[in-house]
Chain A
Amino acid sequence: MSDDAILIGFGAATVRVATPLLLAALGETVSERGGVLNLGIEGAMLGGALGAAVGAAQGSAVVGLALAVAAGLVAALLLAAVSVWGRADQIIAGTAVTLAAVGVTGLVAQRTFGSAGAGLELATLQPVEVPLLGAIPVVGPVLFRQSLLTYLGYLLIPLTWWLLYRTRFGLELRASGEAPTSARAAGVAVRWRRTAGALLGGALAGLGGASLVLAQVGTFTEKMTAGRGFIAIAIVVLGRWHPGGVALAALLFGAATALQYLVQASGHGGVPWQLLLALPYLLALVALASAVGRARAPAGLARDDQEES
């Protein structure tokens, strides 16, 4: 392979593996702007992955996407019910939602696919070339020969920005995340806004899980999201709770993951492959350390809406 071909392959793989992270992280951005830190998005992604696999196994990617969104919504609804309305600790509740998703998806997968789950081969969403843009050298094959879910991710970057900064809902959501007591005094239904933000986050995390199955792996295995939801949370911090920053941060993590393919293609060079496996998580730690101080989390994040922040 020529150097160019390797580079383009690496770039395209970066965008492909960044897609689930981008979708989940944009959703988590909305959720956190409303004050809900959702560690359950790992579970929402897992549920989305299973939903997509179930739909695709019946021969319909569209049904798969609908099931994925539904699974993500259920996971987020559970978290919102317990932590927004029940006022329980968000972090532990989110961990519980993820645990529940691991259990439920394991059971449903066993029931649906039997023990042959690992050998399951699903029809994947094939890359679609965007006319004209796809013909641009280098940029075309990297950005514009991807699956439809990647393009959905591109669209959601400005859409999320518009929602957060140019709509009344976005303003009220951000107020609910920054200063819930003041927002309530100003007449905002804080808990409903927080619930809506969390649900949007859950739906996008579900889609993220779906893109993992439909546009990347093509099968479902137990715990297959492997912490991508948690990485999405780190991406939100690194992206400073802003859709544009989040998109760039998601690309960085996509690159860190795609590095595995690049190194495999060019021989190991003595690097243990486990180090490459661990790289995105290590990068997330560095990102957290370097982002703090420059960025500020919503003041009411992970706090009860009755608490003075």
Chain B
Amino acid sequence: MNTTVVSRRAAVPDLVLTLGAFLLGLALLLAFLSVAGFDAAAGLAALWRGAFGSRYALLSATLVPAAPLLLLGLAFALAARAGALNIGMEGQFAMGAIGATWVGLAVGGWSPLLAIPAVLAAGLVAGAAWIVVPVVLRWRFGVTEVISTLLLNFVAEAAVSWAVTGPLQEASRSYPQSDPIAMSARLPRLLPPDRVHLGFVVALAIAAVLWVILARHRLGFVWRAVGASPRAATVTGRLPVERVAATVLLLSGALAGLGGAIEVSGVSAALYQNLSPGYGFTAIAVALLGRLHPAGIVVAAILFGALQAGAGAMQRDAGIPAVAVHVVQAVVILVMLLATRRRG
């Protein structure tokens, strides 16, 4: 099943639409909070404090979740631009985290110049491996990747649960978590003591590379042609639609796996259950808010990173459950779908 998620033409300028959709989502959340009897004003104040209110909030809170959100947003957009939908980023992220932890525990004696690339590569490979089954199911049996990638999220959750109570559990066996990975395998912080780490730069670099590929390279042209109209691509361009879909899905899985790896290597330093607070789904909102364009996705990832950071403060200071941010994500997705849908 090929679907064109959004058209690249819009009635309103990009930045207005992006900020407008985000603010509308936020406004609807606050309205809902008031109706439900929460203190919306306190919630908003906490949200701002937690996201942008201080140097600490920006550099140690907002930009930390922005890094995986950027990678996962790029992962979704890359596939979506070529007409494939990867809804399984949550699972690929988890597998990337498992792979990164496994390698990170084993590279104690290595130089960071070798250990960090090894850990990141493990995330890429594990993420790509996790999407192999959906790719094969689509290629061989025509099963849409939408449901297969989605179902594998739950399998990945079970796999993490097994890993942290089995093969990767800490030596003392007290908690369902792994031992900390080697110091040499951890991504350095950019501006110590602030928590923003090198993974954010890695994600920015990948955004730049993707921008160039999508806008200037022949490969990007083929992907976009297939995404715009698979039938036209087959008939008039003799483009291998299924091979393109397989390629972009594998790349998408790899990027999502890298997201899991930088989270372990840059933030948690160990494997836990529920490492991701739903990044795999937030990233769909990130990608759509960024109009599936790498530069837009950078902006959108920072906005949703801020929301994630603010949600933590909201839960701590105003007693509003952090899952509330899903409401904003949902509104953003729906608004962007409606604002950029195909016409005719």
Compute how far the CA of A304 lies from the CA of B141 in the bound complex, rounded to whole angstroms. 24
Q: Which of A88, A274, A302 contacts B334 (CB 8 A)?
A: A88
Partner-binding segment picked from B154-162, B193-201, B215-223: B154-162
Compute how far the CA of A100 lies from the CA of B133 in the bound complex, rounded to whole angstroms. 29
A107 contacts B3, CB within 8 Å? no
Q: Which of A92, A231, A278 contacts B288 (CB 8 A)?
A: A92
B42 in the interface, Cβ–Cβ < 8 Å?
no
B166 in the interface, Cβ–Cβ < 8 Å?
yes
Q: Which chain B residues lie closer than 8 Å to A96 at the CB level?
A: 284-285, 329-330, 333-334, 337
Given contacts A96-B329, A230-B151, contact A89 B158 (CB under 8 A): no
A107 contacts B147, CB within 8 Å? no
Q: How many residues of A contact B (CB 8 A)?
A: 47
Compute how far the CA of A107 lies from the CA of B325 in the bound complex, rounded to whole angstroms. 10
Chain B interface secondary structure, helix, strand, loop or mixed?
helix
A141-155 CB contact bits vs B (8 Å, 1 = yes)? 000000000000000
A106 contacts B321, CB within 8 Å? yes
Chain A interface secondary structure, helix, strand, loop or mixed?
helix
Q: From residue 84 to 126 of chain A, which have CB atoms closer than 8 A to chain B?
A: 86-89, 91-93, 95-97, 99-100, 102-104, 106-108, 110-111
Q: Which chain A residues lie closer than 8 Å to B158 at the CB level?
A: 274-275, 277-278
Q: Which chain B residues lie closer than 8 Å to A39 at the CB level?
A: 146, 150
A92 contacts B141, CB within 8 Å? no
B327 contacts A100, CB within 8 Å? yes
B164-175 CB contact bits vs A (8 Å, 1 = yes)? 011000000000
Given contacts A104-B32, A111-B36, A292-B143, contact A278 B159 (CB under 8 A): yes
Q: Which chain B residues lie closer than 8 Å to A102 at the CB level?
A: 278, 323, 326
A158 in the interface, Cβ–Cβ < 8 Å?
no
B325 contacts A103, CB within 8 Å? yes
B159 contacts A274, CB within 8 Å? yes
Given contacts A95-B284, A111-B38, A227-B151, contact A100 B141 (CB under 8 A): no
Given contacts A87-B341, A107-B32, A222-B323, contact A92 B284 (CB under 8 A): yes
Q: From residue 105 to 164 of chain B, which have CB atoms closer than 8 A to chain A?
A: 133, 137, 140-143, 146-148, 150-155, 158-159, 161-162
B333 contacts A281, CB within 8 Å? no
A104 contacts B327, CB within 8 Å? yes
Q: From residue 311 to 333 of chain B, which have CB atoms closer than 8 A to chain A?
A: 320-321, 323-331, 333
Q: Which of B159, B284, B338 contacts A88 (CB 8 A)?
A: B338
Given contacts A82-B334, A108-B36, contact A92 B281 (CB under 8 A): no
B87 in the interface, Cβ–Cβ < 8 Å?
yes
Q: Which chain A residues lie closer than 8 Å to B141 at the CB level?
A: 288-289, 292-293
Q: Which chain A residues lie closer than 8 Å to B133 at the CB level?
A: 285
B61 in the interface, Cβ–Cβ < 8 Å?
no
Give 9 new A-B contacts, CB below 8 A, not counting A82-B334, A91-B85, A222-B321.
Answer: A86-B338, A92-B337, A107-B32, A108-B36, A237-B147, A278-B154, A278-B159, A282-B155, A284-B147
28 example contacts (A-B, Cβ-Cβ < 8 A) are as follows: A87-B342, A92-B85, A93-B337, A95-B87, A96-B337, A99-B285, A99-B326, A99-B327, A99-B333, A100-B330, A103-B29, A103-B326, A103-B327, A103-B330, A108-B36, A110-B320, A110-B321, A111-B37, A237-B147, A274-B161, A274-B162, A275-B158, A275-B162, A278-B158, A281-B155, A285-B148, A288-B147, A292-B141
Interface set of B (CB-CB < 8 Å, partner A): 1, 3-6, 29, 32-33, 36-38, 85, 87, 133, 137, 140-143, 146-148, 150-155, 158-159, 161-162, 165-166, 278, 281, 284-285, 288, 320-321, 323-331, 333-334, 337-338, 341-342, 344
List the 4 closest pairs (A to B, CB-CB), nearest first.
A103-B326, A106-B323, A100-B330, A88-B337
